[in-house]
Chain A
Amino acid sequence: MSTESIPKPTDEQPVFELPPDSVGMVETQTVTLFESSEKLRLASGRELGPITVAYETYGSLNSDRNNAVFVCHALTGDAHAAGWHSGEDRKPGWWDAFIGPGKMLDTDRYFVICANVLGGCMGTTGPGCLNPETGERYSSDFPVITIEDIVDVHAALVTHLGIDRLLAVVGGSLGGMQVLEWAARYPDRLNAAVVLASAAHLSAQGIAFNTVGRRAIVSDPEFHSGRYTPEEGPRYGLAVARMLAHITYLSEASIEMKFGRRLQHSDKLAYDLGKETEFQIESYLHYQGERFVERFDANSYLYLTKAMDYFNLADRHGSLEAALGNTDARFLVVSYTTDWLFPTDQSRELVSALLKARRHVSFIELSSPYGHDAFLIENEPLERLVQPFLDQTYQSFLNSDR
Chain B
Amino acid sequence: MSSQRYCMPDPMLGLNDKLIRDQIRPGSRVVDLGCGDGRLLAMLRDEHGCSVQGVELDQESIEAAISRGVAVIRADLDRGLDDIPSQSFDVAVLSQTLQQVRQPKAVLEEMYRIARWTLVVVPNFAHWRVRWQALSRGRAPVTSELPYEWYNTPNLHVMSMTDFRDLANVVKFRIDKEIPIIRRRAVRHAWAANLRAESALYVLERTE
A interface residue numbers (CB < 8 A to B): 330, 332, 348, 351-352, 355-356, 358, 360-365, 381, 384-385, 388-389, 391-393, 395-396
Contact = CB atoms under 8 A, between A and B. Distances in A.
Given A352-B84, A361-B71, A362-B62, 7 more contacts: A348-B82, A348-B83, A355-B83, A362-B73, A381-B59, A385-B66, A392-B69
Contacts of B88: 355-356, 358
A362 B85 contact: no
A356 B86 CA distance: 9
A385 B70 CA distance: 12
A355 B63 contact: no
Contacts, number: 56
Greatest chain B CB density within 10 A among A348, A393, A395 is at A348
B71 A362 contact: yes
A391 B66 CA distance: 10
B67 A363 contact: no
B53 interface: yes
Contacts of A330: 71
Contacts of A395: 69
Interface string B38-80: 0000000000000101000001001101111101111000000
Interface in B83-99: 83-85, 88
Interface string B145-185: 00000000000000000000000000000000000000000
B66 A362 contact: yes
Greatest chain B CB density within 10 A among A358, A391, A393 is at A358
A110 B191 CA distance: 60
B29 interface: yes
Contacts of A396: 69
Contact of B83 (A351, A362, A388, A389): A351
Contact of A365 (B68, B74, B82, B84): B74
A361 B67 CA distance: 14
Contacts of A360: 71
Nearest to B59: A364
Contacts of B73: 351, 355, 361-364
Interface residues of B, number: 20
A358 B67 contact: no
A340 B158 CA distance: 41
Contacts of A364: 59, 62, 73-74
B84 A362 contact: no
9 contacts: A332-B66, A356-B85, A358-B51, A361-B73, A362-B73, A363-B74, A384-B63, A385-B63, A395-B69
Contact of A355 (B59, B67, B74, B84): B84
A367 to B, nearest CB: 9
Given A362-B73, A363-B74, A365-B74, A388 B67 contact: yes
Greatest chain A CB density within 10 A among B59, B83, B85 is at B83
A356 B153 CA distance: 36
A135 B59 CA distance: 56
Contacts of B69: 392-393, 395-396
Given A363-B73, A389-B66, A358 B83 contact: no
Contacts of B29: 358
Contacts of A355: 53, 73, 83-85, 88
Contacts of B62: 362, 364, 385
A330 B51 CA distance: 13
A356 B82 CA distance: 12
A345 to B, nearest CB: 10
A384 B88 CA distance: 29
Nearest to A330: B71
Nearest to B55: A363
Nearest to A365: B74
B37 to A, nearest CB: 12
A391 B29 CA distance: 24
Contacts of B53: 355, 361
A331 to B, nearest CB: 8
A355 B82 CA distance: 12
Given A362-B72, A362-B73, A364-B73, A388 B66 contact: yes
Contacts of A385: 62-63, 66
B51 A392 contact: no
B85 A388 contact: no
Greatest chain A CB density within 10 A among B29, B65, B67, B68 is at B67
Contacts of A392: 66-69
Nearest to B88: A355
B47 to A, nearest CB: 16
A352 B84 CA distance: 6
A194 to B, nearest CB: 12
Interface string B4-48: 000000000000000000000000010000000000000000000
